[in-house]
């Protein structure tokens, strides 16, 4: 329960809390003690990295994820263009072989603005809630959201420019997203318009792919340019209420990434590639309070950290399944 609460607080923008070493499990204390004694040299790190690259699995999850993301979005497009009617509608609301689905944040905006809930919308909302609760909440972001894919491209350019020292990254307070979430909830409630939807790149991109683009794409382009030249992954990190909605759904999700401290070299590769590095606070040397730590709700389950980890210390895990097997 305490873990859950702390995970939500971090999701809302709080700095990851430091756990009192007195509360560490005895097993992990022994591991930390051993790690303090042994020295990891640059050669060891290099060897581990080489062995990891030799395995050829360093893009495994990314490639799977991109495939799923593209297939999901192409399915929307083809359902209409080729009239195969598998996934009708757009990401904001759709029908999957006839079953209603509704994006949770879009549905929330509509419910608040309209103040009535039609049964179809409720069915769609509950279906999608259960789906993403099972799959991990923000899994939606990295495995389905088309903006996420574009932003990953923008991020690559951004990191290149930063490495060249042509630009610097500007960080904002992560609590901005929480405040904006509240503001957009209030605006929908008070104005009766689904105010957020006008700047929602998820809906804009999804509709543009299916029904054809328009001026709205300029807004998405602006966001990407902002992320390239000013602030790394700014939309997903500091603004997007869709991500926060799914993050909340995923707080109690059985599917998560789990950190195993035993073999970790603490070289920090995972934190460098992560969209939300605050969920990886536990990988810092001496910070894991147990031998295994599940990452917090803000984690998008994108698997980049798993791909990059040279020691296999980060893995996908389905809670309860390990006990069952």
Contacts of 263 (CB under 8 A, 6+ apart): 311, 312, 313
Does 198 contact other proteins by CB under 8 A? yes
Binding residue (CB under 8 A) for other proteins from 6, 66, 80, 149: 80
Contact letters for other proteins, residues 30-69 (x by CB under 8 A): ----------------------------------------
**Which three-class secondary structure string do you get for 290-324?**
CCEEECCCCCCCCCHHHHHCCCCCEEEEECCHHHH
For residue 89, the tally of other CB atoms under 10 A from its CB is 20
Within residues 246-285, the interface with other proteins by CB under 8 A covers: none
CB of 183 to other proteins, least distance (A): 6
CB of 162 to other proteins, least distance (A): 15
Within residues 111-150, the interface with other proteins by CB under 8 A covers: 113-116, 118, 120-121, 124
Nearer to other proteins, 147 or 196 (CB): 196
Does 184 contact other proteins by CB under 8 A? yes
Does 73 contact other proteins by CB under 8 A? no
> To which residue do tokens 């290099």 refer?
46
Does 219 contact other proteins by CB under 8 A? yes
User: What is the C-alpha to C-alpha distance for residues 231 and 233, in angstroms, rounded to an integer?
Assistant: 6
Binding residue (CB under 8 A) for other proteins from 28, 104, 110, 236: 110
User: What is the C-alpha to C-alpha distance for residues 94 and 92, in angstroms, rounded to an integer?
Assistant: 7
Contacts of 75 (CB under 8 A, 6+ apart): 86, 87
CB of 1 to other proteins, least distance (A): 30
Residue 284 vs residues 16, 36, 265, 280, 309: alpha-carbon distances, Å? 12, 13, 9, 8, 13
Stretch of residues binding other proteins (CB under 8 A), selected from 19-27, 62-70, 193-201, 248-256? 193-201
Question: How many CA atoms are closer than 13 Å to the CA of 69, on its beta-carbon side?
Answer: 22
User: What is the C-alpha to C-alpha distance for residues 138 and 249, in angstroms, rounded to an integer?
Assistant: 8
Instruction: For residue 301, report the phi and psi dihedrals to the nearest 5 degrees.
Output: 55, 35
Nearer to other proteins, 56 or 212 (CB): 212
Task: Calculate ∠ Cα 223-224-229, nearest 5°.
Answer: 100
Stretch of residues binding other proteins (CB under 8 A), selected from 105-113, 143-151, 155-163, 260-268? 105-113
CB of 265 to other proteins, least distance (A): 29
CB 311 within 8 A of CB 264: yes
Instruction: For residue 183, report the phi and psi dihedrals to the nearest 5 degrees.
Output: -65, -45
Binding residue (CB under 8 A) for other proteins from 62, 65, 88, 265: 88
CB of 80 to other proteins, least distance (A): 5
CB of 301 to other proteins, least distance (A): 25
**Which three-class secondary structure string do you get for 112-132?**
HHHCCCCHHHHHHHHHHHHHH
Q: Which parts of this chain interact with other proteins (CB under 8 A)? A: 79-80, 88-90, 92-95, 100, 102-103, 106-107, 110, 113-116, 118, 120-121, 124, 170-173, 175-176, 179-180, 183-184, 187, 191-199, 203-204, 207, 210-211, 214-216, 218-219, 234, 238-239
């Amino acid at each position: 329960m305490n873990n859950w609460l702390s995970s939500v607080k971090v999701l809302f923008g709080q700095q990851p809390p430091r756990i009192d070493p007195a509360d560490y499990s005895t097993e992990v204390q022994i591991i930390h003690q051993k790690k303090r004694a042994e020295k990891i040299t640059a050669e060891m790190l290099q060897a581990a990295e080489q062995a990891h690259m030799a395995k050829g699995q360093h893009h495994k999850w990314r490639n799977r994820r991109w495939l799923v993301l593209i297939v999901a979005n192409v399915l929307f497009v083809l359902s209409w263009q080729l009239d195969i009617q598998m996934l009708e509608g757009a990401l904001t609301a759709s029908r999957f072989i006839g079953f209603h689905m509704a994006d949770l944040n879009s549905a929330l905006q509509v419910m608040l603005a309209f103040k009535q809930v039609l049964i179809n919308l409720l069915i769609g909302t509950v279906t999608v809630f259960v789906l993403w609760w099972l799959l991990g909440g923000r899994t939606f972001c990295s495995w389905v959201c088309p903006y996420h894919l574009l932003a990953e491209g923008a991020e690559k350019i951004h990191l290149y420019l930063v490495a060249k020292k042509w630009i610097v990254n500007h960080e904002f307070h992560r609590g901005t997203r929480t405040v904006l979430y509240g503001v957009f909830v209030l605006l929908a409630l008070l104005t009766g318009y689904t105010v957020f939807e006008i700047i929602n790149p998820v809906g804009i991109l999804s509709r543009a792919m299916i029904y054809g683009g328009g001026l709205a794409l300029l807004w998405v382009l602006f966001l990407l340019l902002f992320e390239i030249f000013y602030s790394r992954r700014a939309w997903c990190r500091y603004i997007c209420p869709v991500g926060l909605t799914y993050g909340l759904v995923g707080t109690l999700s059985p599917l998560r990434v789990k950190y195993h401290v035993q073999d970790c070299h603490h070289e920090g590769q995972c934190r460098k590639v992560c969209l939300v590095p605050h969920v990886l606070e536990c990988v810092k040397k001496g910070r894991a309070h147990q031998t295994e730590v599940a990452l917090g709700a803000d984690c998008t389950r994108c698997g980049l950290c798993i791909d990059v980890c040279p020691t296999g210390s980060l893995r996908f895990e389905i809670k309860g399944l390990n006990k069952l097997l």
